[in-house]
Structure 1
Amino acid sequence: MNNNRKAVSQNSTIYTYRLLQRIHYQPYYFYMYTAIGIAAAVYSLMHLSPLQFIAGVIGVPLAHFFLLLLLLHTKEKRAAKTWRWYAGWPWVGYAPSGYLSLSKLRRLHRQLLWVLLLLAGCLYPWLPVPLLVFLGSFHLYLLFPRLFLLWRFRKHKENGYVIINEKDTSCYAQ
């Protein structure tokens, strides 16, 4: 029995992570952010057709999903197996489900931000201006909480690993 324990300990890999920073999701910010979203949705429905509004609400998260899949496949040379859909605030949409390097996560979200804004700008000649403003605003609305959390982890960008939970986002060092 003693030899079995020794064999397991010699062949196993042990990962130890040290917590650098944890950000708990505050309900106050969730309610405030939701109220802003509802007010913006009512305003958008007054200036857009319901079909345009629904297409934007469905299309922007799908664009985030497909662009993240494309970036993960081309830049990281691997499938997005460790990513999943989150429905909870602030990670609404496609986000990592396990540990991911903070520098990679920041780079992916920076590219996501600018590529989709540029894509919306390229559609300017074919789409009405109110729809473009709505698409851009909704894109920023979905990304702002993520970018804010990543900005708060900025001092750990060299060696940080991020994990997302239901009640907090944590940054660890390996």
Structure 2
Amino acid sequence: MKWTREAIVNKQEFSKESTVYHYRLLKRIHYSTILNLIYWGILISMLAWELILLRPYTMLLGIAFLPLLHALLIFLHITLKEKRQLTHWQFRFHLPWLGLAPTNHIGLRRFSGLQMQVFWVTIMIIGCFYPWAPRDMVSLLCVHLWIFLPRLYILLRLKKHASKGFIKLNDKDTSCYSQ
């Protein structure tokens, strides 16, 4: 009896409802620990600058509440527009996906569209409060850009695979696959 891969696959029985997925890696983007530390240093230096100017409260509130606002916008988009549950999404506490992020494969075009909507809607929400507190809104905008720049950079690097790509977010890298 042959013990090749074909013989093993032929002996296995699959039901008619079973689905077999084969993913081919298109691109993997590794996260650099040094760049991550430098990026956190940028936030700490912005916070120190705000502390010198005696107004760090807005930036601290932005660090605490902007990821929650992003999560709320993602929740509203998925539950109201797509009519899905957030079963495969979880809150992450490390860059570049600080906030609500998918745990399974997700279509790159769908994910980047969702991220761009969250990006622009948050800028519009911050802009609505600009007439009453212009200095504070600049701090919020800086925190929002600090959260989103790594995401936008990764999505820009994966843009050529948007039509057929599926993205998988891991702790050490972001991978783009084709089915």
TM-score (norm 2): 0.87
User: Could you tell me which residue of structure 1 aligns to residue 137 of structure 2?
Assistant: 132
1:84/1:95 contact within 8 Å kept: yes
Aligned-partner Cα distance in 2 for 1:152–1:6: 40
Aligned-partner Cα distance in 1 for 2:173–2:36: 13
Q: 2:39 aligns with which of 16, 33, 36?
A: 33
* 1:92 to partner: Cα distance: 1.1
User: Could you tell me which residue of structure 2 aligns to residue 44 of structure 1?
Assistant: 50
Aligned-partner Cα distance in 1 for 2:136–2:91: 26
Q: 1:152 aligns with which of 152, 157, 173?
A: 157
Residue identity over aligned pairs, in percent, reads 38
* 1:14 to partner: Cα distance: 0.6
1:162/1:171 contact within 8 Å kept: yes
* 1:56 to partner: Cα distance: 1.9
Higher share in helix = 1
Question: 1:54 and 1:36, CA in 2 relative to 1: closer, same or farther beyond 3 A?
Answer: closer
1:22/1:169 contact within 8 Å kept: yes
Question: 1:49 and 1:74, CA in 2 relative to 1: closer, same or farther beyond 3 A?
Answer: same
Q: 1:103 aligns with which of 109, 119, 125?
A: 109
User: Could you tell me which residue of structure 2 aligns to residue 82 of structure 1?
Assistant: 88
CA-atom RMSD in angstroms: 1.8
The aligned amino acid for 1:76 is: E
1:48/1:130 contact within 8 Å kept: no
Q: Which stretches of structure 1, 4 residues or more, deviate above 4 A after TM superposition?
A: none
Aligned-partner Cα distance in 1 for 2:61–2:31: 29
SS in 2 for 1:94: strand
| Pair member with larger Rg | 2
2:126/2:137 contact within 8 Å kept: yes
Quick check: 1:170 aligned with 2:179? no
Aligned-partner Cα distance in 1 for 2:27–2:138: 35
Aligned-partner Cα distance in 2 for 1:116–1:48: 25
Aligned-partner Cα distance in 2 for 1:48–1:69: 35
1:48/1:131 contact within 8 Å kept: no
Q: What stretches of structure 2 of length at least 5 have no aligned partner?
A: 1-10
User: Could you tell me which residue of structure 1 aligns to residue 7 of structure 2?
Assistant: none
Q: What stretches of structure 1 of length at least 5 have no aligned partner?
A: none
Cα displacement string for residues 24-69 of structure 1 (whole angstroms, at most 9, x for unaligned residues): 1112211221111111111123335454333222111111110111
Aligned-partner Cα distance in 2 for 1:18–1:48: 52
Aligned-partner Cα distance in 2 for 1:6–1:169: 33
Quick check: 1:55 aligned with 2:61? yes
Question: 1:43 and 1:50, CA in 2 relative to 1: closer, same or farther beyond 3 A?
Answer: closer
The aligned amino acid for 1:60 is: L
